[in-house]
A and B are shown apart, each in its own frame.
Chain A
Amino acid sequence: MKEDIKLAKWLAGEMDEKELKEFESLPEFDTYRKIAEYSAQLQAPETDTDRLYNAITEKREAPKTKVVKLHQPWLVRIAAVLIIALCLTFVLYTNNTTTQIAQAGEKTEFLLPDKSAVVLNSGSEAEFKSWNWNKKRSIDLKGEAYFRVAKGKTFDVNTPLGKVTVVGTQFNVKARDNRFDVTCFEGKVKVTYKSQEVFLTPGESITFEDGEEITIPETQAAQPGWMNNEVTFVSEKPENIIKEIERHYAVKIELDKNVSLSPENVFTGTLPMNELDTTLAFFTDKYHLKAKKTGKGTVILSVE
């Protein structure tokens, strides 16, 4: 038996016979016996239960309403983290922007969430948010693209130069440097340029360059020419045509120092764009130049 609880065991009558005999033979046993006996005769002051109860009933206030304790506070923390994660995911998802690019020498075709079709011409880029597309159809365009828009709510094409708004139609938008060209092939198109608003019907085109409007003859075509590699230019500056050729064929065109191409010397006509040599032939013929390929993806134009 552990020494430090021996007496307690005795007092509770938990000693076995042998231990008890041993204990009782000790000289101090008598004192312990008397302590146990007389201490049991002591009493605590009386308790007047009823009086105390009444006192309590008088003093106590109404019970407080139930506190719903979350016995597992860590559940709350997990829920909070999940909610934040969900919110972030939602924000990221709704702000998720799709970007389509057509590099130089490429054309890129893609569908929008409502099955509207877009074809990007070389060196163009389009950006749009797919979330909530059916409520708000808005696409940002840099460069040139042909649109075949499914019927639905208004469809906006935003370019650095101006804006085109349609409701289910087919049209072409070209926004390059300072020239903004829109051609309507089907349906009705509203073009906003600075503070001007113009409506186009099938076959009609509108062109703004440096703030000036250029008259474009009506077209009978069902699609823009570039989609068939036949590009029609109307009063187009030669430098723009050079850029178009560069984008289309993914080549670099350099001008010899003797070459001076006046912007007033505009080009109106159709350039075949299925072969670089053919295109260059047409171009150099008009501007009295000759073209030489360097073999490193560069063409040098010099005076004839």
Chain B
Amino acid sequence: MKNNSISNICEELIFSNFFKTHVKTLKNYLYYKFGNEERAEDVTQEAFIKLWENCANVPPEKAKSFIYTVANNASLNHIAHQKVVLEYAKRHNGPTSSSESPEFIMEEDQFKVKLQKAIAGLSEAQRTAFLMHRIDGKKYYEIAEILGISVKAVEKRIHGALLELRKEIENFR
């Protein structure tokens, strides 16, 4: 493994590449956490700013863990959580929609609304893990790395989220 001691985060190019790679994931994670886009952006900025200011002391391989640590610690002194309500992608996928009956479509739409509400009712731990998997497509080990927990812990959260969601949705009936 080549020793990258010369190229570190203090170089603008390295920093900006790192930023582009990780900014979306970080911001989304924070959004799933807070439910507030503005706050998610503020904390994202803070994390990268801190990384830049401390670039001399953070080796490139530690940078990712650094920004998440800053982000999680920034969140601690913080206002009340807001409900995380996500939107569905505008584009409907699948040919199923055209061949189904209106009743079916309406039922599905109701389901989707219930799902949105149920997700908002999950605990922060379950919600962030679940959404990182579903929306960002992160694998369990990636989620584990970001949250600083074990893969097993991630699986427990996902399992718990699915269980909760089903219960919530079925209660809405």
Contact = CB atoms under 8 A, between A and B. Distances in A.
Contact of A7 (B52, B89, B159): B159
B20 interface: yes
Most buried by B among A7, A39, A60: A39
Sort A-B residue pairs by CB-CB distance and give the 10 closest, nearest first: A8-B158, A8-B155, A5-B155, A66-B56, A39-B134, A7-B162, A7-B159, A44-B28, A8-B159, A42-B86
B56 A52 contact: no
A192 B16 CA distance: 84
Contacts of B31: 44-45
A64 B56 contact: yes
Interface of A: 4-9, 11-12, 28, 31-32, 34-36, 38-45, 47, 49, 52-53, 55-56, 59-67, 69
B109 to A, nearest CB: 10
Nearest to B90: A43
B49 A35 contact: no
Given A39-B130, A52-B23, A44 B86 contact: yes
A40 B152 CA distance: 22
The prevalent SS among residues of B at the interface is helix
Nearest to B32: A44
A47 B27 contact: yes
B57 A64 contact: yes
A9 to B, nearest CB: 7
Interface string B45-71: 100110011111100000000000000
A42 B131 contact: yes
Contacts of B159: 4-8
A56 B162 contact: no
Interface of B: 10, 16, 19-20, 23-24, 27-28, 31-32, 37, 41, 44-45, 48-49, 52-57, 86-89, 93, 108, 111-112, 115-116, 119, 130-131, 133-136, 139-140, 152, 154-160, 162-163, 165-166, 169-170
Contacts of B41: 52
Contact of B158 (A11, A42, A63): A11
B162 A8 contact: yes
Contacts of A7: 158-159, 162-163
Nearest to A3: B159
A6 B93 CA distance: 28
A63 B162 contact: no
Contact of B135 (A5, A11, A42): A42
25 contacts: A4-B156, A8-B157, A12-B139, A32-B162, A35-B162, A35-B165, A38-B112, A42-B88, A42-B119, A43-B135, A44-B27, A47-B23, A52-B44, A52-B45, A56-B19, A56-B49, A59-B49, A60-B48, A61-B53, A62-B53, A63-B55, A64-B57, A65-B56, A67-B56, A69-B57
Contacts of A28: 166, 170
A67 B16 CA distance: 23
Contacts of B52: 56, 60, 63
A36 B172 CA distance: 18
Given A7-B158, A64-B57, A38 B115 contact: yes
Nearest to B9: A63
A269 B38 CA distance: 114
B167 to A, nearest CB: 10
Contacts of B166: 28, 31-32, 35
A32 B168 CA distance: 12
B134 A55 contact: no
